[in-house]
């Protein structure tokens, strides 16, 4: 692909996505404050910029994947914006509140640049395999320009509408996902209190309308086989549902279930689970209740060896 592309933010999601771009032939320049992450992506053919400003001057399309609103404002408005070349295109894939997205987009457009919000769905496992989902807020022409690049990182690219809509869809998506995870954890904890066999329990739940992605896949790949290393951290789940609730407050929209889920996440964080996978909400619950943690039969057999 004959274009100069930059990527800033090589964390748990950003590093595998950037690595896939580089492996698939994109002329990529990367920057992150962690040099080891840059070196890792450079191993797949990317160039390393010394600063975000250097990357901005060298690249016509720049992707950012950053932890939250303060970092998005700082990196894009302070480190990139003063150094961008004419009519640059910035694609922010971070999960932030709508007003941050709108502010950044308006600041870029005011001086002749273009902006896309393209937050990411699915987990790090999918990112590593190049199977992410992107929710894209973009003008039609910009969407067409960036789609081939998104396809090097994902299998599902959905144009949600004009700039700002990708972020808003992501907030709704994560509100549902995080709420499901807490609900599932409570259901599986109830099953543990009843002394149920978790394999049988899941067979029933996944055969009815009770099923959801976490019951069908997430819990079975993580905590129910004894693994709560992230994945997607409880701290990030708390951040994302807080964004949804704060946005709803600004819109005078009550989210009573969401408020309960946020406080449940906060309990888990207070008890030391913030850095663990969010399926670890189950571990937190059974630990508080003094219950034996449920495991799939295959995991129990492995542990017994």
Active site residues: 170
Report DSSP letters for 186-245, one per residue: HHHHHHHHHT--HHHHHHHHTTSTT--HIIIIIHHHTGGGT--S-SSBHHHHHHHHHHHH
- From the list 96, 89, 91, the residue with the least C-alpha distance to 8 is 91
Cα separation of 34 and 259, whole Å? 35
Are 139 and 112 spatial neighbours (Cβ–Cβ below 8 Å)?
Answer: no
Cα separation of 68 and 59, whole Å? 23
Q: At what angle do helices 234-250 and 165-194 cross, to 10 degrees?
A: 120
Cα separation of 22 and 149, whole Å? 10
**Count of C-beta atoms within a 10 Å radius of residue 206:** 14
Cα separation of 64 and 90, whole Å? 8
Task: Map tokens 């973009």 to a residue.
Answer: 138
* Strand (E) or helix (H) holding 174: helix 165-194
* Strand (E) or helix (H) holding 166: helix 165-194
């Amino acid at each position: 692909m004959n274009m100069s592309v930059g990527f800033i933010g090589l964390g748990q999601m950003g590093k595998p996505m950037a690595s896939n771009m580089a492996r698939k032939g994109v002329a990529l320049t990367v920057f992150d404050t962690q040099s080891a992450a840059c070196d890792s992506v450079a191993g797949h053919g990317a160039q390393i910029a010394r600063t975000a400003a250097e990357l901005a001057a060298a690249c016509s399309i720049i992707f950012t994947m950053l932890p939250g609103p303060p970092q998005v404002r700082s990196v894009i408005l302070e480190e990139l914006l003063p150094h961008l070349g004419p009519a640059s295109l910035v694609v922010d894939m971070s999960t932030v509140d709508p007003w941050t997205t709108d502010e950044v987009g308006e600041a870029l457009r005011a001086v002749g640049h273009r902006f896309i919000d393209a937050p990411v769905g699915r987990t790090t496992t999918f990112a590593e395999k190049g199977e992410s989902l992107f929710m894209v807020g973009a003008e039609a022409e910009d969407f067409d320009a960036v789609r081939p690049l998104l396809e090097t990182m994902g299998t599902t690219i959905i144009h949600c509408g004009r700039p700002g809509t990708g972020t808003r869809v992501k907030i709704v998506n994560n509100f549902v996902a995080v709420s499901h995870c807490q609900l599932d954890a409570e259901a599986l904890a109830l099953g543990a209190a009843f002394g149920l066999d978790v394999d049988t329990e899941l067979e029933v739940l996944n055969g009815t309308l009770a099923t959801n992605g976490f019951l069908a896949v997430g819990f079975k790949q993580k905590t129910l086989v004894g693994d709560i290393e992230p994945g997607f951290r409880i701290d990030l789940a708390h951040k994302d549902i807080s964004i949804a609730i704060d946005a709803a407050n600004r819109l005078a929209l009550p989210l009573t279930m969401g408020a309960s889920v946020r406080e449940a996440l906060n309990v888990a964080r207070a008890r030391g689970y913030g850095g663990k996978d969010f399926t670890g909400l189950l571990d937190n619950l059974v630990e508080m209740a003094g219950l034996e943690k449920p495991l799939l039969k295959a995991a129990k057999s492995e542990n017994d060896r």
